[in-house]
Amino acid sequence: MNHITFQQDRELDFIGLGRLCIDLNANEINRPMEETLTFTKYVGGSPANITIALAKLGARTGFIGKVSDDQFGRFIKSYLHKLNIDTRNVVTDHTGAVTGLAFTEIKSPTDCSILMYRDNVADLKLEAGEVQEDFIKRAKAILISGTALASSPSREAVFQAIEYARKHQVVIIFDVDYRRWTWKSKEETAIYCNLVAEQCDVIIAGREEFDVMEIVTGPEVKDDLATAQRWFERQAKIVVVKHGGDGSIVFTKDGGSSRGGIFPAKQVIKTFGAGDSFAGAFIYGLLQGWPVEKCQEFGSASASIVVSSHSCSDAMPTVEQIENLIKEHRANSST
């Protein structure tokens, strides 16, 4: 029992909507990017990573987005195809737009940063008229990624997708995914993310992202419960507040909450990817009908695997890998 009711007669479990980009992760790690000579290319973009996570876990997935009409766009679509992710609503741009790039700097396992090239990117050119109602109505759930709200016409495409999802009882999941490089201002971020959040069934964000939405600028006490209750007054049934290495808290509309820790990784390579892997495995658990505590544990274990890896998308684990980590952790805890 996890408070979410999915329509069962659907051919897809999950559709991701938003950014499809390329990660270029530094190969020479534990040094600043000024000293990096080579990078490894992976498919990236938070909603893409989450969709890939669910595909790797065996969910039937699809994607709504726009890619550039070049080698990167073709690389991304080919990668999704190989994972059986339905790309019928992945549109190719013909305006000369480019694929967003995310250069990951790994100065140390705990000091990582991302340099994002986001000018004239194809993902933000997705138009409302390109969002297929017939595609969305085939799914149990759809993920909205906050960065897709950063500018038009992608912004309007998001609201069109939400309208279709609500019309067809598709569960709406909002991952705030705040990436400052893409927004004009935090005020604009708050306006549009709040307008979306009030229509969503599940909201996933870090404490800092909720602070942006609540326009918290000072040292006020950040009250996770108050944050969750704000959204339970609207459509939300589940609110997840992520706290990095301190774990996460999952709140449910019936007043329940679950404080989850982490699965300490034997060797953290980079912190990035934790959020997307957590979200993918958490949502997988919801789709299985698991209680939120089990979803949270599954997400945390997945995150531990991905922070131990050089990539994000490529490293997304299988059910067996996650279950083995949980078993190993329990065995070690009992000795």
Ligand X SMILES: O=C(O)C[C@@H](O)[C@H](O)C(=O)CO
Ligand Y SMILES: Nc1ncnc2c1ncn2[C@@H]1O[C@H](COP(=O)(O)OP(=O)(O)OP(=O)(O)O)[C@@H](O)[C@H]1O
* Contacting positions for ligand X (CB under 6 A): 19, 21, 23, 44-46, 49, 102, 114, 272-273, 275-276, 312
Cα 285 from Cα 260, distance rounded (Å): 15
**CB 9, min distance to ligand Y, A:** 33
Cα 90 from Cα 80, distance rounded (Å): 10
Report the residue closest to ligand X, judged by CB: 44
Which stretch, 93-101, 165-173, 224-232, 273-281, contacts ligand Y (CB under 6 A)? 273-281
Among 163, 222, 247, 288, contact with ligand Y (rule: CB under 6 A): 247
Could you say which of ligand Y, ligand X, none residue 303 binds, taking C-beta under 5 to 8 angstroms by partner kind? ligand Y
Q: Which is nearer to ligand Y, 8 or 110 (CB)?
A: 110
Single-letter residue type at 172: I
Q: Which is nearer to ligand Y, 98 or 274 (CB)?
A: 274
- Residue-level length of the chain: 335
Q: Which is nearer to ligand X, 23 or 211 (CB)?
A: 23
Write out the binding residues for ligand Y, residues 107-146 only, by CB under 6 A: none
Q: How far is CA 264 from CA 207, 268, 308, in A?
A: 20, 9, 10
Q: Is 44 in the site for ligand Y (CB under 6 A)?
A: no
Alpha helices by DSSP H, listed for 17-82, are: 46-56, 71-82
Q: Taking CA 43 as the corner, what is the angle to CA 103 and CA 182, rounded to the nearest 5 degrees?
A: 50
How far is residue 188 CA from its own chain's centroid? 20
Q: Which is nearer to ligand Y, 300 or 311 (CB)?
A: 300
Among 162, 212, 274, 322, contact with ligand Y (rule: CB under 6 A): 274
Q: Is 174 in the site for ligand Y (CB under 6 A)?
A: no
Among 89, 154, 271, 309, contact with ligand Y (rule: CB under 6 A): 271
Cα 87 from Cα 25, distance rounded (Å): 25
Count the Cβ atoms, other than its own, within 10 Å of residue 186.
15
**CB 168, min distance to ligand Y, A:** 29
Beta-carbon contacts of residue 153 (< 8 Å; ≥ 6 apart)? 124, 125, 126, 127, 128
H or E element, residue 15: strand 12-17
Pair 156, 128: CB distance under 8 Å = yes
**CB 315, min distance to ligand Y, A:** 12
Could you say which of ligand X, ligand Y, none residue 238 binds, taking C-beta under 5 to 8 angstroms by partner kind? none
Cα 312 from Cα 222, distance rounded (Å): 29
**CB 306, min distance to ligand X, A:** 9
Could you say which of ligand X, ligand Y, none residue 105 binds, taking C-beta under 5 to 8 angstroms by partner kind? none
Beta-carbon contacts of residue 130 (< 8 Å; ≥ 6 apart)? 66, 89, 91, 157
**CB 147, min distance to ligand X, A:** 7
Q: Is 33 in the site for ligand Y (CB under 6 A)?
A: no
Could you say which of ligand X, ligand Y, none residue 245 binds, taking C-beta under 5 to 8 angstroms by partner kind? ligand Y
Q: Can you tell me whether residue 291 is helix, strand or coil?
A: coil
Among 73, 100, 273, 280, contact with ligand Y (rule: CB under 6 A): 273
Which residues are at the interface with ligand Y (CB under 6 A)?
Answer: 206, 242-245, 247-248, 262-263, 265, 268, 271-276, 278, 300, 303-304, 307
